Amino acid sequence: MADNRKIAQDVLEAVGGSGNVTHATHCMTRLRLTLKDEKIADDNVIKKIDGVLGVVHQGGQTQIIIGQNVPKVYQAFCEIGGIAAGSAAAEADKPKEKLTAKAVFNNILNYLSGSLTPLIPVIIAAAMFKTIMAIIGPDMLGVVTVESDLYKLLDFVYDAGFYFLPIYLGYTAAKKIGTSEVLAMFLGGVLLAPDFMAIVEAGQPFRVFGIPTSLNNYSQSVLPMILSVFVLKYVHNFFKKHVPDTLSTIFVPLLTMVVMIPVSLCALAPLGANVGAIISTGLLSFGAVGGFVAVAVIAALWEFLVMSGMHMVLIVTMITIIMTEGSEAMVSPAATCATMAAIGMALGAFFRLKDKKEKSLSMGYFISGILGGVTEPALYGLGFKYKKPFIGMMIGGAIGGLYAGLTHVASYAVGATNFLIVLGFAAGGTANLVNGTISCVISLVAAAVATYFIGFDKNDPAVTGISAYDDEIADSADSEKDSAAADIAEVSACISGQVIPASEIKDEVFSTGMMGAGVGIVPDEEVIVAPCSAVVSSVMEESKHAVGLTLSNGAEILIHEGLDTVGLNGQGFELYVKEGDKVRKGQKLIRFDKKLLGEKGLDATTVFLLTNSDEYPDAKFETGMKAEAGNTVVLKF
């Protein structure tokens, strides 16, 4: 067994000691070092270290090939050298991409998605409390009254899930872009501080370090923190770089907040709010001249305004008009149609998806919306996760809104947001109620149909049913007898595609056999599955791009998706297993975005290696054919 600590000690000495190391990280098989002076490191000495398989120089790094025990070597390396551990996919490893308009848009969308998607558990839990409140409350079953303690409890628990959204978002956004989570949460807390909220409510002029600030209520908002955390990263990095280590514990967080508090309160947070105000005001102006078309446009865009906190100007305007005129015929009908469209998006997803987990979640989103009137779970759980369902939602909202506009539907009350929302049309008479109800049904059905047909990529595992098949395998694992014999004879392809010899893989670590014999598979799909029954011996939790498997006969398989994909820091990857898991043939391991890899200029070849091939001299890899995941044999013992 390899002595990981000795390997780390010998490598550290060979590269010139910790004083010559400016950054250390690792991927699935390599210790990746950025050295002050690469000439000090002696490649010949490093290659002779017992446990080191080779050395390559790439992208300004000295990459030392260790094997699947590299995480343990890395940990020892950092401990011995007193080196701060970097993530397995540090900034320095990220492949450079051309800064095009499309790339900027994708980066923004990925930042938003990566920040909002982790909040889904909070949003779902909070939404379910409101759903229960709506069901047992006076508007439905009437089990409890508005004055009851249970009703109040359910109400403020729901509020806690959404009111403090800037704080939760501070954590997830900071984690997404790699900055201090606690300082970002602190900054979110500043935007919601009780004394500041009291100043906002009183409308008193306020200055931050002498700088005047506009007063806004940032509870439940998204854009102010998205902007603030992005800037926080660079401010925090600046002070980490320039403040001496002996003073950094105190002064890095202090100075970061001293800069960010006025920047956020006086510039970024108001900017987020003002962007919303500009958009909302523009929509109101558009409504004054656009008539029924304006209702359709607002219905299509409404949920995006809600998610970004940009809808409050329209809400205030709507309520004011209802209070003064008795009814409102633009914003409220549009918002109603948009709500039904979001619910319809969840329904369409339920019928389209075959993955058991995703299907179940989609039904939960639908119930949360139709009974509780809460659409955030669908928006974040489907829209931001898969992106295309938003198109279906917008189509449904636009069509329903168009009908509402053409039939001059008006709302006479602001009340429920669940299926009882149609009662707001009742005061306008039978025709208004009927047309309002029809517009809601149109929105829901149109969104469901559009989401079903165009809301998902046809090769997505949640749609193809691969994941559902995996679940069936996993569910039956306890009741079935393990069929994997100790003398396993064949191993299938882990992904469908063209099988090529390892020598054709465009990475010398894999092509020269440093890591063991194997093949490459140029993928046709985006899902990697277990090639046979095995135990997961290692995973890359941060970058999610590689998995190590140990077979029942002791063979060790490395599945590595793409070349230099560690630098994506998990972007475009989903990992479905953890170290120690027992998997069966065909069970889903990794899902990746092949299109994204292409946009980043990365080779998507899936590397499939037998890392201890020296222990299996008779093992033979098959190449030169089109492989089908789980069926085509690529390795025979």
Q: Measured between alpha carbons, how far is 265 from 276 in angstroms, rounded to an integer?
A: 16
* Residue at 602: amino acid letter: L
* Residue at 360: amino acid letter: S
- Does residue 397 share a domain with residue 545? no
β-bridge partners, 560 = 546, 607
- Does residue 630 share a domain with residue 481? yes
Q: Are strands 207-208 and 211-212 parallel, antiparallel or unpaired?
A: antiparallel
- pLDDT tens per residue across span 78-92: 888 887 655 443 444
Q: Which of 487-491, 547-551, 602-606, 612-616 has the lowest mean pLDDT?
A: 487-491
Q: Please report the pLDDT score of residue 118 as a whole number.
A: 79
- Does residue 324 share a domain with residue 188? no
Q: Look at residue 566 and tell me if it is in a domain.
A: yes
Q: Look at residue 153 and tell me if it is in a domain.
A: no
Domain extent for 81: 4-86
β-bridge partners, 636 = 490, 620
Q: Measured between alpha carbons, how far is 497 from 524 in angstroms, rounded to an integer?
A: 5
Q: Which of 79-88, 113-122, 533-542 has the lowest mean pLDDT?
A: 79-88
Catalytic residues: 27, 560
- Does residue 356 share a domain with residue 250? no
Q: Look at residue 133 and tell me if it is in a domain.
A: no
Q: Measured between alpha carbons, how far is 6 from 504 in angstroms, rounded to an integer?
A: 34
Please enumerate in sequence order all residues whose Cβ is within 8 A of that of 156, keeping only pairs 6 or more positions apart, or say none.
none
Mean pLDDT of 423-448: 90
Q: Measured between alpha carbons, how far is 376 from 303 in angstroms, rounded to an integer?
A: 9
Mean pLDDT of 36-55: 86
In the chain, the percentage of residues whose pLDDT exceeds 70 is 85
Number of residues that this document lists for the chain: 637
Q: Measured between alpha carbons, how far is 541 from 506 in angstroms, rounded to an integer?
A: 24
Q: Look at residue 155 and tell me if it is in a domain.
A: no
| CA 78 from centre of chain | 29
Phi, psi of 407 (to 5 degrees): -95, 5
Domain boundary among 454, 478, 503: 454
Mean pLDDT of 340-356: 93
Q: Measured between alpha carbons, how far is 351 from 364 in angstroms, rounded to an integer?
A: 13
Q: Please report the pLDDT score of residue 570 as a whole number.
A: 85
Residue 302 has pLDDT above 60, yes or no: yes
β-bridge partners, 345 = none
Higher pLDDT, 99 or 302: 302
| pLDDT-derived band at 314, boundaries 50, 70, 90 | low
- pLDDT tens per residue across span 153-166: 998 998 888 789 89
Residue 106 has pLDDT above 70, yes or no: no
Q: Is 26 helix (H, G, I), strand (E, B) or coil?
A: strand
- pLDDT tens per residue across span 201-250: 998 889 999 999 988 888 877 788 999 999 999 999 999 888 887 888 89
Q: Please report the pLDDT score of residue 482 as a whole number.
A: 44
Q: Measured between alpha carbons, how far is 592 from 17 in angstroms, rounded to an integer?
A: 37
Q: Please report the pLDDT score of residue 4 as a whole number.
A: 86
Q: Please report the pLDDT score of residue 515 as a whole number.
A: 84
Residue 281's closest CA among 310, 320, 323, 319?
Answer: 310
Question: How crowded is residue 290: how many other Cβ atoms within 10 Å of its Cβ?
Answer: 16
Q: Please report the pLDDT score of residue 251 as a whole number.
A: 94
Higher pLDDT, 325 or 47: 47
Q: Look at residue 299 and tell me if it is in a domain.
A: yes
- pLDDT tens per residue across span 556-591: 999 999 998 888 888 889 898 888 888 988 889 999
β-bridge partners, 633 = 492
β-bridge partners, 559 = 547, 608
Q: Is 64 helix (H, G, I), strand (E, B) or coil?
A: strand
- pLDDT tens per residue across span 248-275: 889 999 999 999 999 999 999 998 877 7
Domain boundary among 405, 426, 454: 454
**In what helix (H) or strand (E) does residue 598 lie, and over which residues does it extend?**
helix 594-599
Q: What is the pTM of this model?
A: 0.50
- Does residue 626 share a domain with residue 479? yes
Residue 486 has pLDDT above 50, yes or no: no
Q: Look at residue 99 and tell me if it is in a domain.
A: no
| Arithmetic mean of pLDDT over the chain | 84
| pLDDT-derived band at 543, boundaries 50, 70, 90 | confident
| pLDDT-derived band at 470, boundaries 50, 70, 90 | very low
Residue written as tokens 């509780």? 372
Evaluate whether 527 touches 461 at the Cβ level (below 8 Å). Answer: yes
- Does residue 429 share a domain with residue 310? yes
Q: Which of 107-121, 286-300, 339-353, 535-549 has the lowest mean pLDDT?
A: 107-121
In the chain, the percentage of residues whose pLDDT exceeds 90 is 38
Higher pLDDT, 417 or 113: 417
CATH number for the domain harbouring residue 559: 2.70.70.10
* Helices and strands: H and E segment counts in the chain: 24, 20
CA dihedral 382, 384, 386, 390 (to 10 degrees): 80
Q: Is 95 helix (H, G, I), strand (E, B) or coil?
A: coil
Segment 276-280 long-range contacts (CB within 8 Å, at least 24 positions apart): 276/223, 276/305, 276/308, 276/309, 276/310, 276/311, 276/312, 276/313, 277/310, 277/313, 279/305, 279/310, 280/305, 280/310, 280/311, 280/312, 280/313, 280/314
Higher pLDDT, 283 or 599: 599
Q: Which two tokens stand for residue 375?
A: 């659409």
Q: Measured between alpha carbons, how far is 94 from 25 in angstroms, rounded to an integer?
A: 12
- Name the region of 222 (left: φ>0; alpha: ψ -120 to 50; beta: rest): alpha
Question: How crowded is residue 542: how many other Cβ atoms within 10 Å of its Cβ?
Answer: 18
Residue 341 has pLDDT above 90, yes or no: yes
Q: Measured between alpha carbons, how far is 370 from 348 in angstroms, rounded to an integer?
A: 14
- Does residue 448 share a domain with residue 515? no
- Does residue 265 share a domain with residue 295? no
Mean pLDDT of 398-424: 85
Residue 498's closest CA among 518, 519, 523?
Answer: 523
Residue 259's closest CA among 223, 209, 219?
Answer: 209
Radius of gyration of the chain (CA): 28
Mean pLDDT of 156-183: 89
Higher pLDDT, 229 or 67: 229
Q: Look at residue 283 and tell me if it is in a domain.
A: no
β-bridge partners, 522 = 498
| pLDDT-derived band at 321, boundaries 50, 70, 90 | low
Residue 469 has pLDDT above 50, yes or no: no
Evaluate whether 345 touches 448 at the Cβ level (below 8 Å). Answer: yes
Q: Which two tokens stand for residue 445?
A: 């059905």
Residue 120 has pLDDT above 80, yes or no: no
**In what helix (H) or strand (E) does residue 444 lie, and over which residues does it extend?**
helix 430-454
Question: How crowded is residue 391: how many other Cβ atoms within 10 Å of its Cβ?
Answer: 16
Q: Please report the pLDDT score of residue 300 as a whole number.
A: 93
- Does residue 316 share a domain with residue 178? no
Q: Which two tokens stand for residue 435?
A: 């047309």
Q: Please report the pLDDT score of residue 632 as a whole number.
A: 93
β-bridge partners, 607 = 520, 560
DSSP state of 584: -
Evaluate whether 621 touches 517 at the Cβ level (below 8 Å). Answer: yes
Q: Please report the pLDDT score of residue 47 as a whole number.
A: 87
Higher pLDDT, 211 or 39: 211
Q: Please report the pLDDT score of residue 485 as a whole number.
A: 40
Residue 452 has pLDDT above 60, yes or no: yes
Q: Look at residue 97 and tell me if it is in a domain.
A: no
- Does residue 329 share a domain with residue 446? yes
Evaluate whether 575 touches 528 at the Cβ level (below 8 Å). Answer: no
| pLDDT-derived band at 379, boundaries 50, 70, 90 | confident
- Cα distance from N-terminal residue to C-terminal residue, the chain: 23
Q: How many domains does the chain have?
A: 4
- Does residue 581 share a domain with residue 520? yes
- Does residue 215 share a domain with residue 343? no
Mean pLDDT of 112-121: 74
Residue 283 has pLDDT above 80, yes or no: no
Domain boundary among 454, 481, 507: 454
